[in-house]
Amino acid sequence: MNRHQFPRRTALRSMVAGSLLMPGILSELLAEDQSRPAGPLTPKAPHFPAKAKRVILVFATGGVSHIDTFDPKSSKNGRDGKGKEKLMGSVFPYRKDRKCGIEVSDLFPHLRDSLEDICIIRSMKSAHFDHTEATVGLHTGSATFTRPSMGSWLSYGLGTFNQDLPSFIVIAPHLPYGGTQVYASDFLPAYHQGTRVIPGSDPIANLTPRTPRRSVQELELQLSTSLSRRHQAGREDDSQLAARIKSFETAFHMQTAGPEVFDLSKEDDKTLSLYGLKRGETQNFAWQCLIARRLAERGVRFIELVDTGSRPNWDSHGDMKQHEPLARAADQPLAALIADLKRTNMLDETLVVWATEFGRTPHREGKLGRGHHGNCFSIWLAGGGIKGGIVHGATDDIGKEITRDQVDVHDLHATILHLMGIDHTRLTYRHAGRDFRLTDVHGRLIEPILA
């Protein structure tokens, strides 16, 4: 019989189930394992007391227009100072919120009512003007070279609270520009990469145990892990092997923890209504936001929600009205996520970040569209040590250039790490003869937004 007819899994199963020698062999192997160090995802102490324990990053892929959302401009349609470009002011009406006096367009009325908990940064500068480079740059700090994603860096630096779930989870119905690089670990050990969840009735494949006898699977896992660790001895630098071992352990525990996370049957009607989610729905953005809250309360360190990713996304070259249905689908769930975290006393320890890769041009493209614009755009943050009810930075009267307090991706990353208790200059990893970090040789704290 060749190896294809008798795979390793079958061998292990038969050994566990039928060998008279197996109890003794297993006892010996497990006894060796008692002295092994804590796992690679065991929670680690931060550099200093942290404001936030976890991050929820919401990424609106395609390039959301700052002019039509969080930095409205009332400039009349016409031409710019050079007389060449046809200017177009905010396509949608906008108004001030009642408590903070901050202007936000009518695309986001629910978020506008939540501004007391939100800090809007209107002076972000993109890493690039192309979708892929700008998206990868916002996630990894580098638009030109392959680097680990922010979620991977936080997993590496802090570990995670719940060993039964991945430390870094990405909920993405479709991948954004940049593909899997937005959650890749690159040169960091592979067990720090993100685990993708696809909204639907089966968000993570193969979660159902293949046998109702959990004890049998547990013995199989213990034996497999012990043998793998013996093989790992002397191969400590093989991160793929270490990740494979860890993935088996996490997958086993997720068969219990995973289904419970994605089962919304115990959420009451009031909570579902808050998110605008109908019972049984699993494939909309409201589902993503509610699952994010459930993952956060179960100890997942970094959660990313990808808003769309399919066409049409926020990339509105032809018609800015394309923003309308996307905003309608995202506005209430995002406001509900903030309110729900606040209601459950989690907002103070959860940093929520909403971002896009760049903004849109102040001049029209075609009849009612806008082109890519990396010179300035808007993002917002809430919870986790952020000062709510404020605006940081400003752009000129047409939304073309930053006029005050420029923020780049390195500054954003440095500030997020700081809120998580990490000095961005000290979170390093030795690779190819040098120490790398998320912020490279850049980054400064955005101190005015810190509570």
Which tens digits make up the pLDDT trace of 219-228? 665 666 666 6
Which tens digits make up the pLDDT trace of 344-396? 999 999 999 999 999 999 999 988 999 999 999 999 999 999 999 999 999 99
What is the Cα–Cα distance from 110 to 334, expressed in whole angstroms?
Answer: 8
Report the predicted TM-score, pTM, of the whole model to 2 decimal places.
0.85
Short-list 188, 196, 204, CA closest to 240:
188
- In the chain the domains, ranked by start, together with CATH numbers, are 40-204+265-449 (3.40.720.10)
Q: Give all strands (DSSP E) within 283-384, no chain letters.
A: 302-307, 350-355, 359-365, 369-373, 377-382
Adjacent-strand bridge partners of 57: 304, 353
Short-list 247, 326, 336, CA closest to 291:
336
Question: Who contacts 258 (Cβ-Cβ below 8 Å, separation ≥6)?
Answer: 165, 204, 207
Q: How far is CA 132 from CA 23, 145, 317, 395, in A?
A: 53, 12, 16, 25
Which tens digits make up the pLDDT trace of 171-204? 999 999 999 999 999 999 988 999 999 998 888 7
Average pLDDT in the chain: 87
- Of 305-319, 343-357, 406-420, 429-443, the range with the lowest mean pLDDT is 305-319
Q: In terms of C-beta density within 10 A (0-12 exposed, 13-18 middle, 19 or more buried), how is residue 380 classed?
A: buried
36 pLDDT tier (thresholds 50, 70, 90): very low
What's residue 83's pLDDT? 55
401 pLDDT more than 70? yes
Per DSSP, the three-state class of 281 is coil
Q: In terms of C-beta density within 10 A (0-12 exposed, 13-18 middle, 19 or more buried), how is residue 94 classed?
A: buried
Tokens of 350: 């959860």
Adjacent-strand bridge partners of 87: 78, 363
Pairwise pLDDT comparison (171 vs 213), residue with the higher score: 171
DSSP, res 74: -
Which tens digits make up the pLDDT trace of 46-65? 999 999 999 999 999 999 99
State the number of CA atoms in the 13 A half-sphere of 140 facing the CB.
29
